[in-house]
Structure 1
């Protein structure tokens, strides 16, 4: 995957950022395709926003069932968004597309020994297509995306920005920005179609802005605000645009916290597997780690 590092002896921040932004522009989903999905009626005949979001929630469940990393989930969402933006798929094919995007991400991000067999993946996910269907769909996805898999995701930017800001803070202030909390928030955002049209760098910046501006208003840290402003200027993001996306993030997280919201992978899953598969699975596979409640920190 794409890695960024900070500290002495590495490329300057501006060089690393430019390289990431150049890649980001090439991997952004096509807006025209996303708008077609956004405008589709809920009649079961066309791909819709709701179907996409349900599929991502299922993929998050699958990611956590296997104990795969957030990098794998973020890349899965990136691949799915990009493919949906270039292909008008029928709802009946969505599960196959989603599982293939997941499988591509797993083979890209995880260690080879952790990659499950396609047949086991099919059995565990309870999908009714075949391994041959998967292989055929995987080839279509890769061809339509020109075999460009390793896209810079919002997670890459979030960790990159977080590490940069932490370098500028004292030991006491470093505890304010909790990366685990920010990553949990990013999971919720990935499950919302709203953010498919927003650049990963801006989404990452908005998550940091919400944490700095809203969550710690009663404990202002000038260094945090200065670092955020410097990042915004480096990204050439207008202050008004950042405020708008920050509000979208706040709305998404508020809906996630609501008892009326179907939280990402909050549904209970029943996995139908054979005895042979059960013996092959790791013990940790049976511990389904649901998307945790985003922790609240008092001032």
Structure 2
């Protein structure tokens, strides 16, 4: 198992999230489950796709409405994997047991939304428009696709993303609010500076054309007519990632999700 393989798997999960039109909570929880499991278990690369899809399936069942949850067999076909639904059920049980059935652990997205809601109260109307949660969530998704953040506490990652955006936007009035959040989350100043720099580097690399971006293109043609007839029509409503406003220094472009400076 390598960091590169892990990142490829997370990008596949992001493609599935977009394909089904699932929420950011589902994707963030799936990544959290995957990283938590990989931190306590050593697995062979050939098992990674099964582990990743099971984490995604657990997240879907925990975050989405019951009517939006696909059958395991359908999910396997759509993700183009070759293991069986029985394999998936066995792996799901292993994952849950190793994580002590703690599915709904706080994620970076959970903290990011809390922090954003807190600092938003300190801003005027014009400043609120520039510090949007959609932009912050899009940046978090880019960070989720990098192995470098797997060992960082969710609260620290969320605060670092917010701090970088506050810095880029020049919102000096949020300095006191940021310090308050830092104290409440017991984040050291040195740690915040380091992770903030790491986030900035990640977003810069993500903006390059050389970076492999998640794509749902292959999911549009690989499904056979027979499979398509078995699936609900709602599965085919592709939902794109929220675009980051161009008013700031970084933005996602179209479906390739390229962040440009």
TM-score scaled by length of structure 2: 0.89
Gapped regions of structure 1 (runs ≥ 5): 1-46
Alignment of structure 1 residues 26-41 onto 2, 5 Å: none
Give the aligned partner of residue 57 of structure 1: 11
Query: How many residues end up aligned between the 2 structures?
Result: 248
SS of 2:222's partner is: coil
Q: Does 1:227 align with 2:177?
A: yes
Give the aligned partner of residue 86 of structure 1: 40
Give distance in 2, aligned partners of 1:257 and 1:85: 28
Match of 2:215 among 266, 275, 281: 266
Match of 1:257 among 178, 192, 207: 207
Listed one character per residue, the Cα deviations across residues 52-80 of structure 1 (whole Å, up to 9, x for unaligned) are 00000001001110001110000000000
Give distance in 2, aligned partners of 1:230 and 1:66: 38
Tell me the CA shift for residue 288 of structure 1: 3.8
Match of 1:241 among 191, 199, 209: 191
Listed one character per residue, the Cα deviations across residues 129-170 of structure 1 (whole Å, up to 9, x for unaligned) are 001100111111111111110010000000001111112222
Give distance in 2, aligned partners of 1:279 and 1:295: 38
Alignment of structure 1 residues 139-218 onto 2, 5 Å: 139-213=93-167, 215-217=168-170
> Does structure 1 conserve the Cα–Cα contact (< 8 Å) formed by 2:74 and 2:231?
no
Tell me the CA shift for residue 93 of structure 1: 0.4
Give distance in 2, aligned partners of 1:195 and 1:282: 36
Based on CA coordinates, which of the two structures has the bigger radius of gyration?
Answer: 1
Gapped regions of structure 2 (runs ≥ 5): 250-261
> Does structure 1 conserve the Cα–Cα contact (< 8 Å) formed by 2:130 and 2:248?
no
- Aligned residues: CA RMSD: 1.8
Give the aligned partner of residue 48 of structure 1: 2
Give the aligned partner of residue 227 of structure 2: 277
SS of 1:255's partner is: helix
> Does structure 1 conserve the Cα–Cα contact (< 8 Å) formed by 2:34 and 2:52?
yes
> Does structure 2 conserve the Cα–Cα contact (< 8 Å) formed by 1:266 and 1:291?
no
Match of 1:69 among 23, 31, 56: 23
